[in-house]
Amino acid sequence: MPPVKGRGAPSAALSTRFDDRAREADGDWLDDREAIDGGGPPLRTTVTIETPRTILTRNKSPDVPFDRSINAYRGCEHGCIYCFARPTHAYHNLSPGLDFETKLFAKPIAADLLRAELGKRSYRCEPIAIGTNTDPYQPIEERYEITRGVLQVLAEHDHPVMITTKSARILRDIDILAPMAEKGLVSVMMSVTTLDRDTARIMEPRASTPARRIAAIRTLVDAGIPACVSVSPIVPAINDHEIEAIVDAAADAGAKAAFSIVVRLPHEVAPLFREWLAEHYSDRAAKVMMLINGMRGGRDNAGDFFDRFRPTGEYAATLKKRFALACRRRGLNSERLVLRTDLFRAPGQQFTLF
């Protein structure tokens, strides 16, 4: 089966681990553009409306620096082949491959649920992470504006937020983010995997181009919004040679901090990744997997706490040293940004003079 134009995963042929019932859906505007560009019928995006009871996801992982997050969407149209969130679609008996990119779930009541959560007497304020699972600014955010609604609630109550994205669409919300930044309530991490547009089209076909992401860092910084770069994931023999160049580009754009992780291949991601390698990088597929396995104890993935973010071996040590040297040379990571929590006002809380 030939790869689907404009999509990341080569197929949806992989079996899933869970059962779920079918849902109604509607289409996405990007498919019409894809049909024009590709000259053939597209694989259409569908969006199913979800009505969850809660919107905050609590995290107890000891190796993750936040304890709560919001995911406005399930699935992600960006189509990044390496996305560790792909296996979550198996919970719905959907493919972590093409279904993850084309059969999306949206939560339009997220802002209302958040306001209710913040108003609970038991709620204690700590930064909320947005974009840790699927991108909050993927293309369908243009229509649904769920992320924007969530930010409006957070801004209204002076609640801190950490945003991770690989979309320049975040610039739409500068009117909300800039005032929050003045109060020390927001930070943005822009994920930049490569500076090469052709490589980006293969790795993350519907994300913003690398040039637009770097430009977005500059625009955010100029607006007073702290923005850093995530050089992630590093994929051996595909984008590892760009570490220094990405750090330099982000620093030139005004980023003051940088972060990096090596590619992870949990559950169904590993066979999808291998299939993708055979399709797009057959000349080096064996080398890529040899280097990945060498950093994961001979396996495709190390899933234990801490180990999943700490690849081992000489190659991993070299990547870590290169990244550290690149950051040091540009003066990145010299200061740690701490978001304020003392300004938070719960819904219904009144101002006092004393």
DSSP 334: S
What does the alpha-carbon distance between residue 168 and residue 233 come to, in Å, rounded to a whole number? 19
* pLDDT tens profile 237-292: 999 999 999 999 999 999 999 999 999 999 999 999 999 999 999 999 999 999 99
Looking at residue 40, its pLDDT comes to: 52
Q: What's the whole-number mean pLDDT along residues 59-65?
A: 73
**pLDDT by residue (tens digit) across 280-318?**
999 999 999 999 999 999 998 887 776 777 899 999 999
75-94 pLDDT, tens digit each: 999 999 999 999 999 988 99
Domains defined along the chain, listed by start: 29-329 (3.20.20.70)
pTM: 0.87
Distance CA 65, CA 78 (A): 25
Bridge partners, residue 189, by sequence: 164, 228
| Token duo for residue 118 | 């913040």
What does the alpha-carbon distance between residue 190 and residue 214 come to, in Å, rounded to a whole number? Answer: 8
Whether 177 shows a pLDDT value over 50: the answer reads: yes
In sequence order, what are the residues at sequence separation of 6 or more whose Cβ sits closer than 8 angstroms to the Cβ of residue 334?
256
Using the Cα atoms of residue 135, residue 136, residue 142 and residue 143 in order, give the sign of their dihedral: positive
Q: Is the pLDDT of residue 172 over 50?
A: yes
Alpha helices by DSSP H, the chain: 29-38, 98-102, 110-118, 141-144, 146-156, 174-182, 197-203, 210-222, 243-252, 269-280, 285-295, 314-329
Residue 3 DSSP symbol = P
- Burial classification of residue 254, based on how many CB atoms lie within 10 Å of its CB (0-12 exposed, 13-18 middle, 19 or more buried): middle
Cα separation, 298 vs 286, in Å, equals 13
DSSP 187-208: EEEEE---S-HHHHHHHSTTSP
Helix, strand, coil shares, percent, the chain, to 5: 40, 10, 50
Q: CA 229 to CA 249: how far, in whole Å?
A: 10
Mean pLDDT of the chain: 89
Phi then psi for residue 49, to 5 deg, are -85, 130
Model confidence at 350, pLDDT cuts 50, 70, 90, reads: low
Q: Report CA torsion sign: 175, 134, 231, 143.
A: negative
Tell the burial category of 46 from Cβ atoms under 10 Å away from its Cβ (0-12, 13-18, 19+): middle
Rounded Cα gap, residues 290 and 301, in angstroms? 12
Q: Mean pLDDT, to the nearest integer, of 121-147?
A: 96
Q: Which residues pair with 57 in a beta bridge?
A: 69
